[in-house]
Chains A and B, each alone.
Chain A
Amino acid sequence: MSQFLQYTLQGLAAGGFYALAALGLAVIFGVLGVVNFSHGACYMLGAMASALLLKNLHLGFWPALVIVPVLMFVFGVVIERLFVQWLLKLDPLYNFLLTFGLTLFTVDLMKRLYGVSSQPYEVPAGLRGRLSLGSVDLSTYQLFAAGFSLLVCAAVWLVLTKTRVGMIVRASTEDAERSRALGINVARWVTPVFGFGIALAGLSGVLAAPYRAIDADMGSNFVIILFAIVVIGGLGSILGAVVAGFLVGLVEAYGQGYYGQISQVLIFVLMALVVLVRPSGLFGREESA
């Protein structure tokens, strides 16, 4: 029983992290209708940027937690202005291909610049060790990463539901035509939202740095799981991404605990089941299916 609880706790911790990473993907799809395949590469860039800040400027985890998302926001804005905006009017496939190409380019560029081996990184001083909760325990860092992810998810949700900006963004997501007719400048929000989504990917990269191998390829497998999460949650649904993030975290943990090598397959079995019953995902709108 205590082992089951331990798996559950680990699943929830992983889930919080997945939720944050999937959130950026969901926001970008929700507002721009862009399936951002480069999300995994941006996650990698976030982790690489943290490692480089440490190596070259001796800036550790805490400064990186602030600096990297800002850098990634700027990166996102530049990409949106330079490329993404021109393809928005066309079939979504064009932007999908663009972000796919961007991924190949970024990954190979990083390999060329920094090699293929993992970059060193440390767990920040205040977050080493473990916390016990009765019969189960978790590393302090994992607990922090999950809690921090949840806070960010909650903050994003609050901004979207309780503020005027959030209302405009949601209205543009729901019905861009009608929002425009009501005098809302939808286009004005497209660039910052894209930048924000990329910043979230970068932020999850920073959170991954002390816990995972930092190398150019780290995003390539990760992005596949993220896509499974947003499909399960419903493309573009914020709540869906968060709930599905936790669900996938749990499925993965139970899978690892009880079914070993097929733990990743189980994630896609879950996706297949959800799509079979609800083609638009758990929280997706029917028309987006």
Chain B
Amino acid sequence: MKRTQTLAVVATAVTGSLVLAACGGGGPASAGGKISDGKVVIGLLNDQSGVYKDLSGPNSKVAIQMAIDDYKAKYGSKAVAKDIEIVSADHQNKPDIANTKAQEMYDRDKADIILDVPTSSAALAVATQAKAKKKLFIDIGAGTTALTGKSCNKYTFHWAYDTYMLASGNGAATVQSGGKKWSIVYPDYAFGQDMTKSYSAAVERAGGTVQQKIATPFPNDNYATFITKAAASKPDVIGIMAAGGDLVNFIKQFNQSGIASTTKLAVGLMFITDIHNLGVDQFNGTTFTDAWYWNFDQQNRAWADKFMAKTKVRPSFAHAGNYSAALNYLEAVQAAGTDNSDAVVKQLEGKKINDMFLRNGEVRAADHNVVHDVYQVKVKSKDQVKEEWDLEQVIKTIPASEAYAPPSPDCTM
């Protein structure tokens, strides 16, 4: 038995090195340069049927296609990647499915990079695959800081946001504007716990206090008593760390509680699609941190117009983030002259970027966290809304240096 195993290992190693030799030593793969299999394959792996479908989902494929079109338009016949293909799959927010799909994408579909992957546990599974296969992974949709912390690796980048940035933006800014005493209500699972930890730290760093941290079951549709309990310590602000349907449940019930008129509501993570679906009057001036807003300036708006012409909706920050990640990946391939992962990583590391999505952006070489300016925003009141998707008012731009944590000592590439 042992002998067979040894033989198998040896055989695999030999075949592997032969394949590697063939790749490395092979002649020009295509006229455009050293592109593996003659084409660049971008894998989009996200939630295409569940709670995160609207905020990213199938429309992110449109965003990535826009990046491909812009890349081709810019370089024309000089483009290193001539043939670019997108493959997409639904990971249903489950880490095991994400793991299998990522393997399929890298191995069978010959994906050179995987993009998006919301849901932290799924993102961490894909990061492990990226490391093992030595292929790129740029996460946009997940919030966990572990991607650039203890689970960081050479081939994984985190592009749009993380729980630290969500907390430091809105948490600190709210304390500075007078919201000193907080109660935090959170769903008792990884994301909620992580957000609560980050938010409490951000509030305390800014000089505020978190009087109560109230854990709730997940999922949960009746928050009435939790709200009463959160209000008992007479906080200035109630922070809610739930997402999706639970967040909607909470907001509806918060609005009907007696404290809505006297207590501010801070939301941990929210997307423009949430506000659009519920209507602005449900939010009553709620504040949160946004990684990007489509109507922030003319540059964003111009891109959002193109996106809307294709999808009939305005983009969320995840859509814009997918575009930016795909375009910068292709730019890196162009600069490297190849889609070889190590060469592309070298191009990306340390790169300073100012584009439609990233302002004062930098791909930090130390932990592959892509830091950039983010925004504290407030949901507009009904009379401020001038057009269907114009729902947010930017109160404050938080510079990249303040928004993100310094590279974690836990990260060793």
Q: Spell out A's residues near B (CB within 8 Å).
A: 3, 6-7, 10-11, 13-14, 111, 115-120, 122-123, 128, 130, 137, 139, 141-142, 210-213, 215, 217-218, 221-222, 252-253, 256-257, 260-265
Q: Are B228 and A211 within 8 A (Cβ)? A: no
Which of B219, B232, B282 counts the most chain A CB atoms within 10 A? B219
Partner of A261, one of B215, B255, B274: B215
B248 interfacial by beta-carbon distance below 8 Å? yes
- Report B-chain residues with C-beta under 8 Å of the C-beta of A262: 217
Complex: how many Å from CA A257 to CA B226?
6
Complex: how many Å from CA A115 to CA B253?
23
B262 interfacial by beta-carbon distance below 8 Å? no
Complex: how many Å from CA A265 to CA B188?
13
CB of B138 to closest CB in A, whole Å: 24
Q: Are B256 and A118 within 8 A (Cβ)? A: no
- The chain B residue with its CB closest to the CB of A210 is B252
- Report A-chain residues with C-beta under 8 Å of the C-beta of B270: none
Complex: how many Å from CA A19 to CA B245?
23
Q: Are B277 and A120 within 8 A (Cβ)? A: yes
Q: Are A139 and B277 within 8 A (Cβ)? A: no
Complex: how many Å from CA A27 to CA B363?
62
Q: Are B225 and A117 within 8 A (Cβ)? A: no
Complex: how many Å from CA A13 to CA B253?
13
* 20 sampled A-B residue pairs with Cβ under 8 A: A14-B224, A115-B54, A116-B49, A116-B53, A118-B248, A130-B256, A139-B256, A141-B256, A213-B245, A213-B248, A217-B245, A221-B221, A253-B225, A256-B224, A260-B215, A261-B216, A262-B217, A263-B216, A264-B217, A265-B217
Q: Are A13 and B224 within 8 A (Cβ)? A: yes
- Report B-chain residues with C-beta under 8 Å of the C-beta of A221: 219, 221
Which of A11, A221, A262 counts the most chain B CB atoms within 10 A? A221
Q: Are B228 and A14 within 8 A (Cβ)? A: no
- Report A-chain residues with C-beta under 8 Å of the C-beta of B221: 212-213, 218, 221-222
- Report A-chain residues with C-beta under 8 Å of the C-beta of B217: 261-265
Interface residues of B in 149-205 (CB under 8 A from A): 188
- Report B-chain residues with C-beta under 8 Å of the C-beta of A115: 53-54
Which of A11, A111, A118, A130 counts the most chain B CB atoms within 10 A? A118
- The chain A residue with its CB closest to the CB of B215 is A261
Complex: how many Å from CA A262 to CA B188?
10
- Report B-chain residues with C-beta under 8 Å of the C-beta of A253: 224-225
Q: Are B54 and A117 within 8 A (Cβ)? A: yes
Complex: how many Å from CA A13 to CA B225?
11
B15 interfacial by beta-carbon distance below 8 Å? no
Partner of B188, one of A128, A215, A257, A261: A261
Q: Spell out B's residues near A (CB within 8 Å).
A: 49-51, 53-54, 188, 214-217, 219-222, 224-226, 228-229, 232, 245-249, 252-253, 255-258, 273-274, 277-279, 281-282
Partner of B249, one of A6, A11, A213: A213
Complex: how many Å from CA A257 to CA B229?
6
Complex: how many Å from CA A115 to CA B54?
8
CB of B173 to closest CB in A, whole Å: 27
Q: Are A213 and B228 within 8 A (Cβ)? A: no
Complex: how many Å from CA A3 to CA B249?
22
- Report B-chain residues with C-beta under 8 Å of the C-beta of A141: 256
CB of A92 to closest CB in B, whole Å: 29
- The chain A residue with its CB closest to the CB of B250 is A213
- The chain B residue with its CB closest to the CB of A14 is B222
Q: Are A10 and B54 within 8 A (Cβ)? A: no
Q: Are A256 and B51 within 8 A (Cβ)? A: no
- Report A-chain residues with C-beta under 8 Å of the C-beta of B252: 210-213
Complex: how many Å from CA A169 to CA B331?
74
- The chain A residue with its CB closest to the CB of B186 is A261
Complex: how many Å from CA A222 to CA B247?
16
Partner of A142, one of B215, B216, B224, B248: B224
- Report A-chain residues with C-beta under 8 Å of the C-beta of B253: 211-212
Complex: how many Å from CA A139 to CA B54?
31
Complex: how many Å from CA A258 to CA B333?
57
The 3 A-B residue pairs with the shortest CB-CB distance in the complex, in nearest-first order: A213-B248, A256-B225, A139-B256
Q: Are B256 and A142 within 8 A (Cβ)? A: yes
- The chain A residue with its CB closest to the CB of B225 is A256
- The chain A residue with its CB closest to the CB of B249 is A213
- The chain A residue with its CB closest to the CB of B222 is A14
Q: Are B54 and A3 within 8 A (Cβ)? A: no
Partner of A257, one of B228, B247, B277, B278: B228
Complex: how many Å from CA A117 to CA B53?
8
- The chain B residue with its CB closest to the CB of A213 is B248
Q: Are A212 and B225 within 8 A (Cβ)? A: no
Q: Are B256 and A212 within 8 A (Cβ)? A: no
Given contacts A142-B224, A221-B221, contact A120 B256 (CB under 8 A): no
